[in-house]
Each structure stands twice: as C-alpha cells, then as structure tokens.
Amino acid sequence: MKIGKLPENVLVRSVFKQLHTKRPEILQGAGVGEDCAAMMLAEDEMFVVSTDPITGTTQDIGKVGMMVTLNDLASAGAEPVGVLLTALLPTSIKESQIRGMMQQIDAECAKYNVQVMGGHTEVTRAVNQPILTVTGIGKVKKGQMISTGGAKPGDDIIVTKWIAIEGTSILAKEKEEELSTRYPRAIIETAKEMDQYLSVVSEAAIAVKSGVSAMHDVTEGGIFGAFWEMAEASGVGLEIDVKKIPIRQESVEVCEFFGINPYELISSGSMLMAAPDGNQVVKDLEAAGIHAVVVGKATEGNDRVLVNGEERRFLEPPKADELYKVLG
C-alpha cells in the first residue's frame, strides 16, 4: 500500500464496516474525519483508561491487542466500554490483512460489549510489521476501583489459570516449524490454542465481588515481574512458594525447547491477586470454572522471597521479557 493514511474507500470497507458493537454511553464514535470521541458518565462513576502497544506478534494481533487492554481495565475492577486504536502498517500490508485484524477486534468487542470509539490508521516506512496500539476506556463506581498497590501484609497471594499462557501461544504460532522438529503436532496445536484463555475479564469481576485487595494482570516480565510490581506498588514484602505457581506442561516444553524461563515470560491470561481470604476467592473462581491457587503471602517489610523446596532466594526486579530472546 502507499504511504500515508489509508484511502477512504479502504478505511470505510475494511475498517469501519467491520465494526458493529455500539454502546449508549458513547455520544460520538469512529467516523471519517472525526478526530475525537465523546463518552457520557453518571455522576458517581469514574473514567478508567489504559493503553498498550502490541509489538511481539503479528498473528492474531487484533485479538491480542484487545485482550491485553481489556485485561488492564478488568484488573482495576472497571467495566470496559470503548477503545481507541492506532494501527501503524508496513507498505507490504494487504487490505485483506487489515480487514482480518479489524474482524478480530470486532469479535472481541461483541464478546465483551465494547465499542471502537475512534483511532488512526497509517501506512508508513517506519515499521516493518503491523504495530497496533489499543487505548481502553472503562468505568467504575467511585470508591470501588482496585489497584495493583492495594495488597496488605497478611493478604493471601493468588494466581489464576496458568502462567506463560500468552508467551506459549505466541511462540507456538511464530515458531511452529522449529517446535515440530521435537514435539508431536498435538502438543504444538494445544500450545497455539492457549490464546483462548487470554481474557481475565470474567475472573476480575468475580474477584471484585469476593473482596480482593489488589489485582494485576501478568504481562511482560511474567509472574516474577508481576510479583515485584505488586509488592513495589503496595509497599509490602512477599513469601512465594514457587512450586505452587500453576503452569501447563505445554509451557514447560516450549520454554525448555528455547532455553527460556517460563516465570519471566509474558503471561496475559493469568491474574495476580491479593486478598484477606484467598481460599474464599479461589473457591468462588473455581465455582465459575476458573482455576486459581494461593501461592503465598504478603508480608511486613520489603523482603520478597521465593521458596523452592529447601532453597530460599530473593526476587529480583523485572528484566526484559523472555519472549524477546526468541523473537528478537
């Protein structure tokens, strides 16, 4: 495609016409020539806003972009309402790829009742693969927002589903041919399909009702990075039993193949929570079919300790995600 804004006919037929979900709160949404969106809130509600760029994958970029941002909003206890999209596209992009990306986005919008409020699409030499930035807008009642920094000494620390979900799925898709030299097709296909677990919107809603103190979706830096970020934001220490951290065998196999640490691999789809009664939160989540495990405690002071059998070591600050060791 030619450099610059998408041609208006492409914008209309392959972007706007792929979007179908509407919300009554949104007074002005996406349209040709519209640079701003408008949203109405009740007097007792607050805006919650989050933004994320997707740079680590080209496959399912629309789906992944939506999930990452909706998860951020859900982690704050907010109801997702709308998104703004910025898509920077390489000159090699085909219109069918743009349409496919927008159809993925629209499918997630329909699933979670979210409207695309606006954004920007541009073909540019500055990128050699599609870069999608999703800005999510949600709402929450005043006084009911959940933060990463709400954990208190004595709280149970909970991990939902399994770590390394997103990284496993990305690597299985991007490096399928390499993995097939060691593993059966069934393992690779199961690993690829782990992206069905990327959303944490449902578990966040359940956890809010169950009385969590803090929530944080596990993204870049993996579960070890998320532990550090919650502890740092909350001003607490941690004692975590590494053997209790839930992980799928497919993730173990994929990470072993590439020689990377699954505990430091991007893990959208897993939620880190703190709660006074972690067992009750786990029980409520399991009743809804969502796997969860209490893996440790928040403690007084600043010591963040990982316990692995007889071994005890201190948690280190987050590093670059393990995904980039494989994908560059």
Same domain, 156 and 276: yes
| Containing structural domain, residue 172 | 148-327
Model pTM?
0.83
Which of 121, 141, 161 is the last residue before a domain boundary?
A: 141
77: tokens are 């206890």
Query: 136, exposed or middle or buried, with CB in 10 Å at 0-12, 13-18, 19+?
Result: buried
Same domain, 181 and 306: yes
> Closest Cα partner for 72 from 19, 160, 148?
148
Is-contact 220 68, C-beta < 8 A?
A: no
Task: Please provide the average confidence, as pLDDT, over all residues in the chain.
Answer: 92
Higher pLDDT among residues 39 and 170, named by residue = 170
Q: What's the number of domains the chain is made of?
A: 2
- Euclidean distance between CA atoms 104 and 19, whole angstroms: 10
Same domain, 96 and 72: yes
Same domain, 83 and 211: no
Q: How confident is the model at residue 211 (pLDDT cuts 50, 70, 90)?
A: very high
Same domain, 154 and 24: no
Is-contact 108 62, C-beta < 8 A?
A: yes
Q: How confident is the model at residue 30 (pLDDT cuts 50, 70, 90)?
A: confident
Higher pLDDT among residues 36 and 26, named by residue = 26
Residue 219 pLDDT exceeds 70: yes
- Euclidean distance between CA atoms 50 and 70, whole angstroms: 8
- Euclidean distance between CA atoms 281 and 274, whole angstroms: 9
- 15: domain CATH number is 3.30.1330.10
